[in-house]
């Protein structure tokens, strides 16, 4: 089938879209495929009728594609994730069936690393508080609270993969002393490797978390790690909410165990605990790591390109390993 456009095939492949996607991605999908938009949750009868014909699933980084859903799709051939994190997909169940899973690595490294540095600066230099201070016209009567210097500080990166390394490159321009943890040291990375998050946290002032989510990292940033980071320490989480023990973080922020936190991801998105929303030493963003027009378009294109590769018999561009 190589070289044959999916749109030229006699039977248009049928896809189940399991998450809201950008309009341009949906339009492009509808040109080449028969698209069933979230019928597995919205329209059980339509889903039951279409399920035997569905050959592809399109998800995003937050969507769930559990074993039970995969089992309901006997004709499934490919799962394409709009996002680099695929912790919502039961990859083992897909691979057992010989169904490859694709994601969108690399194209979002710059944006997520930019946001990590932005959050680090925002929480340490109190940028949101300073903005509110000016807007409330408090400036004529008071001096803003002093922030914390970032340049030259000690930075620990939890996860030194594609995005972790992009964060390290940026931090180097701030003359930061950089160390990291990951299950194994990276041959191409010169920074000091620590065996775990707690020993890394004890050695740094700023801890940025950028590992995958899922069972292996669940609750990795716990009360012990936060205690090691200490009362002068700041936490930045741009990974997944599941990586941080959120109740332990709230307690650490409340009691001064750490100085502050900047969070792009949360345990139960889009719901953020009232305790976090009320805290003054916290900066919160709504999971916007890759949320620029340019990057979301590149991610969407990679989703489309992976599907096209699959349905025209070409090699997948970015399959995930496990």
- 274 is annotated as an active-site residue: no
Contact 297, 24 (CB under 8 A): yes
Scan residues 100-159 and list those touching ligand NAP (CB under 6 A). Answer: 105, 108, 112, 159
Contact 97, 79 (CB under 8 A): no
Our CB check for ligand NAP shows the closer of 210 and 228 to be 210
CB atoms near residue 141 (< 10 Å): 6
User: Does 213 contact ligand NAP by CB under 6 A?
Assistant: yes
Q: Where are the alpha helices (DSSP H) in 33-74?
A: 39-42, 44-50, 67-71
User: Does 193 contact ligand NAP by CB under 6 A?
Assistant: no
Which of 60, 290, 295, 306 lies at the binding interface for ligand NAP (CB under 6 A)? 290
Scan residues 75-104 and list those touching ligand NAP (CB under 6 A). Answer: 84-85
The rounded distance, in Å, linking the Cα atoms of 74 and 171 is: 48
**DSSP assignment of 85-100, as one string?**
--TTB-HHHHHHTT--
The rounded distance, in Å, linking the Cα atoms of 125 and 69 is: 46
CB atoms near residue 293 (< 10 Å): 8
244: which strand partners? 221
- 269 is annotated as an active-site residue: yes
User: Does 293 contact ligand NAP by CB under 6 A?
Assistant: no
Our CB check for ligand NAP shows the closer of 15 and 178 to be 178
Which of 17, 264, 296, 299 lies at the binding interface for ligand NAP (CB under 6 A)? 264
State in angstroms the smallest separation of the CB of 216 from ligand NAP.
4
State in angstroms the smallest separation of the CB of 149 from ligand NAP.
25
- Phi and psi of 60, rounded to 5°? -120, -175
Which of 16, 65, 265, 299 lies at the binding interface for ligand NAP (CB under 6 A)? 265
Which residues, 6+ apart, have CB-to-CB distance to 320 below 8 Å? 81, 86, 91, 101, 102, 103
- 251 is annotated as an active-site residue: no
Our CB check for ligand NAP shows the closer of 77 and 196 to be 196
Scan residues 27-56 and list those touching ligand NAP (CB under 6 A). Answer: none
1 SS3 class: coil
Residues in contact with ligand NAP by the rule CB under 6 A: 84-85, 105, 108, 112, 159-164, 182-184, 210-213, 216-217, 238-240, 264-265, 287, 289-290
């Amino acid at each position: 089938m190589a070289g044959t456009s999916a749109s030229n095939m006699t039977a248009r492949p049928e896809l189940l879209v399991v998450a809201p996607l950008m309009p341009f991605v949906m339009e492009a999908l509808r040109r080449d495929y028969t698209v069933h938009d979230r019928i597995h949750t919205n329209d059980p009868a339509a889903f039951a009728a279409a399920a035997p014909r569905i050959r592809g699933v399109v998800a995003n980084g937050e969507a769930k594609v559990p074993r039970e859903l995969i089992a309901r799709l006997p004709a499934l051939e490919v799962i394409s994730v709009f996002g680099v994190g695929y912790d919502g997909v039961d990859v083992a169940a897909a691979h057992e069936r010989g169904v490859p899973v694709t994601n969108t690595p690399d194209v979002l490294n710059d944006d997520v690393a930019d946001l990590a540095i932005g959050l680090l600066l925002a929480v340490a230099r109190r940028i949101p508080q300073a903005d509110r201070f000016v807007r409330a016209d408090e400036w004529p009567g008071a001096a803003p609270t002093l922030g914390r210097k970032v340049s030259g500080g000690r930075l620990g990166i939890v996860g030194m993969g594609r995005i972790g390394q992009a964060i390290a490159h940026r931090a180097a321009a701030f003359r930061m002393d950089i160390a990291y943890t990951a299950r194994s040291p990276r041959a191409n990375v010169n920074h000091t490797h620590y065996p775990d998050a707690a020993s890394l946290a004890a050695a740094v002032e700023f801890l940025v978390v950028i590992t995958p989510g899922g069972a292996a990292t669940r609750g990795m940033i716990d009360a012990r790690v936060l205690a090691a980071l200490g009362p002068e320490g700041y936490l930045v989480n741009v990974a997944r909410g599941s990586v941080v023990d959120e109740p332990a973080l709230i307690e650490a922020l409340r009691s001064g165990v750490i100085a502050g936190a900047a969070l792009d991801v949360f345990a139960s998105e889009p719901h953020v605990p009232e305790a976090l929303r009320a805290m003054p030493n916290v900066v919160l963003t709504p999971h916007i790591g890759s949320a620029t027009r340019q990057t979301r378009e590149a991610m969407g294109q990679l989703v489309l390109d992976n599907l096209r590769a699959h349905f025209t018999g070409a090699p997948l561009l970015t399959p995930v390993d496990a």
